[in-house]
Amino acid sequence: MILVTGGAGFIGANFILDWLAACDEPVVNLDKLTYAGNLENLASLVRDARYGFVQGDIVDRALLDNLLAVHKPRAIVHFAAESHVDRSIRGPGEFIRTNVEGAFTLLEAARAYWSSLPSAEKAAFRFHHVSTDEVYGSLAPEAAPFAETHPYAPNSPYSASKAASDHLARAWFHTYRLPVSISNCSNNYGPFHFPEKLIPLVITSALAGKPLPVYGDGRQVRDWLYVRDHCVAIRRILAAGRAGETYNVGGDSEMSNIALIGMICALLDALRPRADGLSYARQIVHVADRPGHDRRYAIDARKIERELGWRPSETLASGIEKTVRWYLENEDWTARVQSGAYREWMTRHYGAAHG
């Protein structure tokens, strides 16, 4: 079996669903269930004997030791992290606690467990650490995409905390020989994405008749990766990736934020027209740029293609259409995850129009 941390979050839940659709190897999901953790994402697995859930914090060493001793996983896939840049700017402490202290605690628990395994199981064990392209900093418009050898230059409390956890994971391989692999992914999108992030925020705000906030001029460029393509990449790394290696995972789909929002508005215009017949694009409003906002990210994913044969199957156009249709078909899910606490945070951050 495998242990997944943060499996009730956006990417973690999609990974568990993808994993159990692809194979019968059981999964135990460890999640603290913070505001972004939602067990409803995994409701289809409630009666599945291959799936188990434990609520807990990756900073709790005793809990981790017990989980590893009882379930004896042959791999750990570490998603659990605080991940929203805006929240990290307003409250960096929780990002340091979860992303740095939590990664350290999990690595130490994994090292103790791995060291106790029989030689064959020890050789087969893998700890996979899931990270972000934001650790590399910001790219100039004409610069080559981030390769795995690109120097780290994080610019937000979030990306700095993830960079720290990457360095810890790498050090635990080189110092202790714990069989760690790392992946740095570009911006994910798709089903079950919590609606504080750009794509679900635009979809849900548009449908609710609210403003569509765009930071600054909106020309920040990101590489977009459909979440299920990311899940397949992680499965490939677990199956055939080399310990001690980093693999960049990207969607080969660069687009500016303002162009992406226009694409989403056009899809909504076609699939769910406004009652007045006007475009959802009329709801776009430019707001003050956030501090330290990186201008461009782009991923060079040739290493994972060359070594593991992985390429994204979705284009940005096909993935965005699937995503918009999913939100249109699951508006009840969106309504339930937008709790009072989430609405209060949106009001503080973007203004009363989002309350």
> Using CA atoms, how far apart are residues 290 and 36, in angstroms rounded to an integer?
21
Please say whether the beta carbons of 181 and 129 come within 8 A.
yes
Average pLDDT estimate for 235-256: 97
pLDDT over 90 at 20, yes or no:
yes
Return the CATH superfamily for domain 2-193+223-252+294-314: NAD(P)-binding Rossmann-like Domain (3.40.50.720)
Q: DSSP assignment of 183-217, as one string?
A: EEE-EEESTT--TTSHHHHHHHHHHTT--EEEETT
Average pLDDT estimate for 3-19: 97
Please say whether the beta carbons of 64 and 37 come within 8 A.
no
pTM of the model: 0.92
Average pLDDT of the residues of the chain: 93
Specify whether the backbone of 10 is left (phi greater than 0), alpha (psi in -120 to 50) or beta: alpha
Residue 314 DSSP SS3: coil
pLDDT above 70: percentage of residues in the chain: 95
The confidence score (pLDDT) of residue 345 equals 45
> What are the sequence ranges of the domains in the chain?
2-193+223-252+294-314
> Which tens digits make up the pLDDT trace of 78-95?
999 997 777 888 889 999
Average pLDDT estimate for 187-211: 94
Other C-beta atoms lying within 10 Å of the C-beta of residue 288? 8
The confidence score (pLDDT) of residue 48 equals 96
The band of 96, judged by pLDDT with boundaries at 50, 70 and 90, is very high
The confidence score (pLDDT) of residue 350 equals 43
The band of 24, judged by pLDDT with boundaries at 50, 70 and 90, is very high
Backbone phi and psi for residue 16, each to the nearest 5 degrees, phi listed first = -60, -45
Which of 16, 132, 8 shows the shortest CA–CA distance to 58?
Answer: 8
pLDDT above 90: percentage of residues in the chain: 85
> Which tens digits make up the pLDDT trace of 41-69?
999 998 999 999 999 999 999 999 999 99
The confidence score (pLDDT) of residue 342 equals 46
The band of 348, judged by pLDDT with boundaries at 50, 70 and 90, is low
> Using CA atoms, how far apart are residues 285 and 235, in angstroms rounded to an integer?
40
> Using CA atoms, how far apart are residues 131 and 299, in angstroms rounded to an integer?
13
Question: What are the catalytic residues?
Answer: 133-134, 158
Q: Which residue has the higher pLDDT, 304 or 194?
A: 304
Q: How long, in residues, is the chain?
A: 355
Backbone phi and psi for residue 352, each to the nearest 5 degrees, phi listed first = -65, -25
Q: Which of 27-31, 196-200, 235-239, 274-278 has the lowest mean pLDDT?
A: 196-200
The confidence score (pLDDT) of residue 344 equals 56
Task: Name the token pair of 125.
Answer: 């064990």
The confidence score (pLDDT) of residue 34 equals 85
β 126-132/75-78 pair status? parallel
> Using CA atoms, how far apart are residues 193 and 205, in angstroms rounded to an integer?
14
The band of 298, judged by pLDDT with boundaries at 50, 70 and 90, is very high
Residue 163 DSSP SS3: helix
Q: Chain-centre distance of CA 52, in angstroms?
A: 21
The confidence score (pLDDT) of residue 341 equals 53
> Using CA atoms, how far apart are residues 163 and 146, in angstroms rounded to an integer?
14
> Which tens digits make up the pLDDT trace of 150-186?
999 999 999 999 999 999 999 999 999 999 999 999 9
Task: List, in order, residues 6 or more apart from 346 with CB less than 8 Å away.
Answer: 196, 354, 355
> Which tens digits make up the pLDDT trace of 119-154?
999 999 999 999 999 999 999 999 999 999 999 999
Which of 120, 106, 116 shows the shortest CA–CA distance to 3?
Answer: 106
The confidence score (pLDDT) of residue 339 equals 65
Q: Which long-range contacts (CB under 8 A, 24 or more apart) does 36-40 make?
A: 36/9, 36/10, 36/83, 36/84, 36/194, 36/196, 37/6, 37/8, 37/9, 38/8, 38/9, 38/13, 38/192, 38/194, 38/337, 39/8, 40/333, 40/336, 40/337
